[in-house]
Structure formats: C-alpha cells, structure tokens
Amino acid sequence: MKTTTIGISEDHHIYRDGLIAMLNNKANYSVIIEAENGKELIEKSKLNPPDLVILDYLTPEMNGIQTTRKLKKIHPNTKILILSMYDSNEFIVKSIESGANGYLLKDDDPSEIIMAIESVMSIGYYLNDRTSKILINQLITSGDLKPKFSYNDIEFSATERQIIELLSREYSTAEIAKALHKSTRTIDGYRSGIMKKTGAKNVIGIVMYAIKNELITID
C-alpha cells in the first residue's frame, strides 16, 4: 500500500504532537512536515509537497483559509483538511469554498480523522452529516456552490428520488435510513450510486443536480 505523506500546521504543540504520533503509528501514513502556521508549512513544502495537509483554521501569520488558497495555487494536487475548534457555519462554508477537501472539529473522534484522510485520498472529499447540512443550507440560501456534472437525462428509481428529496431537506444518512426503513449501509450504497449517475462529487452536487434538472424545487 502506498504511503500517504502528510503535512501539519498547528500552533498548539501538545495537540500537534499527539496528532503526529497517531498518524505515524499507522503503517501507510508518514508526517513529513510539521509547522506552527501556514507560512512555515508552505515554505517547508516547496521542495517536497505532501499528499495531504491538515491545517488548523486559526494560526498566527497565515491561517487555514489563507494557506488553503495559496496551497491550491502552488500545489493543486495536495489535498487539504481543515481542523478547527469551532463548529461554525461561516468557518465551514469558507473552508470548502476556499478549496479545502474537508472540515473536522478538534474534538471529533480520532477514528473520524483517519476516515476523513482515507476518504479525501480516495474520492477527493470528506463531508460528514454535520458539514453536509450546513453546505446544503448555504446552497439553498445563496446558490454560490456550483459543481459540474458529467451526465444528463438520467433515470432514477423511486427510492433514489426519495433519497434525493430527503438530502435536499438536510436529512442525515441515519435519518434517511429511519424514514425509508433501510440500513445506513444501504442508504450509503444508494447515495454512491446517485453520485456515480450524476457525476456529483458529494451531497451538495446531488442537490445541485436535482435543482438544475427540476427533480426538486426550493421554496
């Protein structure tokens, strides 16, 4: 299995050291850069950019948003996870709009950090139910998020249409499973199938496709 190289920008030494120890303890992860802020991380990544960086949202000199924007320009293939103490709608939306591939809270379970890294490296993004709900709400109120799609004139089953409608109403995977009397794994399978059909990369893309093709309407 290919080793994923990682860079970390975090000004709290105890948290940074714990994160590094956890990641280096995994056989297929290697932290090659540690920095106290985005400016230092970018400088250290010039010669050997990591596959993925984990950025604290608030760091001195250059914060996570500023670092994300600059990294996307100089290292467009590097994936970015924002890590924050703040469960803020504004922070989450700004992070994703700036080009981050995912947003996590510092008090999330360590297993979710691993899950997020694996998701970002395999499919390019990680959106948990909390983040998806916030971004869907942003989509509905502003219409600023406009993903591109790969397919047109797609036929959906009755269940797929139900799932699309519930996603647009900000239902989580667990809530959809309960409403349709199915397992969460089954719903995940349907959602993956819908993304494959539409070419959407995430839940936001599914909802955008549905609005664009009048599968749902937003009042």
- With a cut of 60, say whether residue 147 has pLDDT above it: no
| Beta pairing partners, 28 | none
pLDDT in tens, 24-48: 999 899 999 999 999 999 999 998 9
Task: Report whether pLDDT(149) > 70.
Answer: no
Cβ contact 216:174 at 8 Å: no
Q: What is the pLDDT of residue 219?
A: 54
Q: CA 12, CA 27: separation in Å to the nearest integer?
A: 25
For 48-63, how does the pLDDT look when each residue is reduced to its tens digit (9 = 90+)? 999 999 999 988 888 8
Same domain, 108 and 183: no
Which amino acid belongs to residue 149?
A: F
Q: What pLDDT, on a 0 to 100 scale, did the predictor assign at position 22?
A: 95
Q: Return the percentage of the chain with pLDDT > 90, whole number.
A: 44
Res. 211: pLDDT tops 80: no
The whole-number pLDDT of residue 143 equals: 57
Number of domains forming the structure of the chain = 2
Asked if the structure places residue 207 within a domain, the reply is yes
Give the domain range for residue 116. Answer: 4-126
Segment 94-120, tens digit of pLDDT: 888 888 888 998 888 888 899 899 888
Last residue of a domain, one of 76, 92, 126: 126
Q: Which candidate, 25, 102, 45, places its Cα nearest to that of 9? A: 45
| pLDDT value of position 88 | 82
> Model-level pTM?
0.71
Q: Is the residue at 76 inside a domain?
A: yes
8 with 87, same domain: the answer is: yes
**180 pLDDT tier (thresholds 50, 70, 90):** very high
Q: Are residues 101 and 154 in the same domain?
A: no
Distance CA 169, CA 164 (A): 9
Mark which of 76, 97, 126 sits at the end of a domain: 126
Q: Please report, for residues 43, 117, 145, 208, the alpha-carbon distance to residue 139 in angstroms, rounded to integers and kept in the order given.
A: 35, 25, 6, 8
| 133 occurs within a structural domain | no
pLDDT band of residue 146 (cuts 50, 70, 90) is low
The pLDDT of residue 218 is: 56
Sheet with 52-56: strands ordered across:
29-35, 4-9, 52-56, 79-84, 102-105
36 touches 9 (CB < 8 A) = yes
pLDDT band at 163 (very low <50, low <70, confident <90, very high): very high
Instruction: Give the residue carrying structure tokens 């050997």.
Output: 48
CATH code: domain of residue 161: 1.10.10.10
Kindly tell me the burial class for residue 19, based on how many C-beta atoms sit within 10 Å of its own C-beta (0-12, 13-18, 19 or more): buried
Phi and psi at residue 157, in whole multiples of 5°?
A: -75, 165
Same domain for 122 and 159, yes or no, is no
Q: Flag whether 136 is in a domain.
A: no
Residue 219 lies in a domain: no
In this structure, the answer to whether residues 119 and 191 fall within a common structural domain is no
Same-domain check for residues 58 and 17: yes
187 and 117 in one domain? no
Whether residue 153 sits in one domain with residue 57: no
Backbone angles phi, psi at 119, to 5 degrees: -65, -45
Asked if 101 and 192 sit in the same domain, the reply is: no
Same domain, 50 and 20: yes
Domain boundary (78, 96, 126) is at 126
Give the H/E segment covering residue 120: helix 110-123
The domain that contains 59 carries what CATH number? 3.40.50.2300
Q: What is the pLDDT of residue 145?
A: 52
* Residue 153 in this model has a pLDDT that exceeds 70: no
* 59: enclosing H helix or E strand: none
